[in-house]
Structure 1
Amino acid sequence: MKYSLLAIICAFLVSCSSGPEKDFSTINEKQITDYIKANNLEATKCESGLYYTVDEAGEGVKPTSASTVQVAYRGSYLNGEVFDESSERGISFPLKRVIKGWTEGITYFKEGGKGMLLVPSHLGYGPYDTRGIPGGSVLLFDIHLIEVKK
């Protein structure tokens, strides 16, 4: 009887486990490189897995990961579906309070610069659905760094 109860408890605990977290790194890398190739982009790959393009260099200062910035942006999936966007005036926020892809990526632009960030899921919202964004999603952000505030 003791062993039957123990077996039932173990089976219950195993069935409640969420299982191993899916690693999207390889999948995301292929999705990003396929997108770059299909759209004939010249993108820079960072060690973290982030890709970015600079369309207009800008002439102002570059932010650090500790800066507060004002950015106009449009966020979409690689299929073009827009999930978020700001007004042309942009929004202001500290880079320490956004996804890792933004904290890193915005620092590659000078004030006034425009370009694109291709953010793999490990630098975005991860492997789980978050705020309506499907887990494992590559995120594309068209950005305009309007101002570096500090």
Structure 2
Amino acid sequence: MKNYSFALLFLILIASGCQQADQGPCTEPVVSIKAHYEDITTLKQYIDSSHIAAKFDERGFYYTIDAPGSGKKPDACANVTVNYSGKLTNGKTFDSASGISFYLNQLILGWQEGIPLVGPGGSITLYLPPSLAYGSQDQNDIPGNSILVFKIDLVKIN
């Protein structure tokens, strides 16, 4: 009986230690991953053929800042509240939400890199190549190797 009690106590201590570690400070570096050359080329063709006036970011995505927002911009460790919609290049909306919160370091690379370009109250449209989104894997209604277009309002940094 003592062995079972000790084992249960040990498991509880390990589980509570893991929970505490997950709540510790984020030490993620600034994201600096670049998209694949082929993805950048395909994305540029889409931007040009659609006559989109977007800025190119050296990490391999395009964006338009619809409103810059104000105040401190989020970093890779920030918890942010956003409104967003995600579309495929054919215009089909595959996801949207309002008032949803995320830690940036838990999101796709394109969001980690793009959202910090605006402050709270800001709005940005991100044009992401597959290598900064979901890559070659199908994700629900998103076919693999898809260019994604996200309209994101940064409501606040939590």
- Confirm or deny a common fold (TM above 0.5): yes
Determine whether 1:104 maps to 2:113: yes
Aligned residues: 124
What per-residue deviation string (whole Å, max 9, x for no partner) do you get for residues 12-61 of structure 1? xxxxxxxxxxxx94553344223323443332222221211101111122
Determine whether 1:119 maps to 2:140: no
Structure 2 portions without partners, runs of 5+: 1-34
- Structure 1 residue 121: Cα displacement: 0.5
- Contact 2:121/2:153, CA 8 A, preserved across alignment: yes
- Structure 1 residue 110: Cα displacement: 1.1
- Contact 2:73/2:116, CA 8 A, preserved across alignment: yes
Q: Aligned runs of 1:4-15 on 2, under 5 Å?
A: none
* Partner SS, residue 80 of structure 2: strand
- Aligned match for 1:59, one of 46, 54, 70: 70
- Aligned match for 1:91, one of 93, 97, 100: 100
Separation (CA, whole Å) in 1 of partners of 2:132 and 2:74: 19
Cross-structure match for 2:154? 145
RMSD (Å), alpha carbons: 1.8
Q: Determine what percentage of the aligned residue pairs are the same residue.
A: 40
**Structure with bigger RCO (C-alpha 8 Å, 6+ apart):** 1
Separation (CA, whole Å) in 2 of partners of 1:50 and 1:34: 12
TM-score, length of structure 1 as denominator length = 0.75
- Aligned match for 1:68, one of 79, 101, 105: 79
What per-residue deviation string (whole Å, max 9, x for no partner) do you get for residues 66-102 of structure 1? 1000110000001110000013xx2111001111111
* Partner SS, residue 86 of structure 1: strand
- Aligned-partner residue type, residue 88 of structure 2: Y
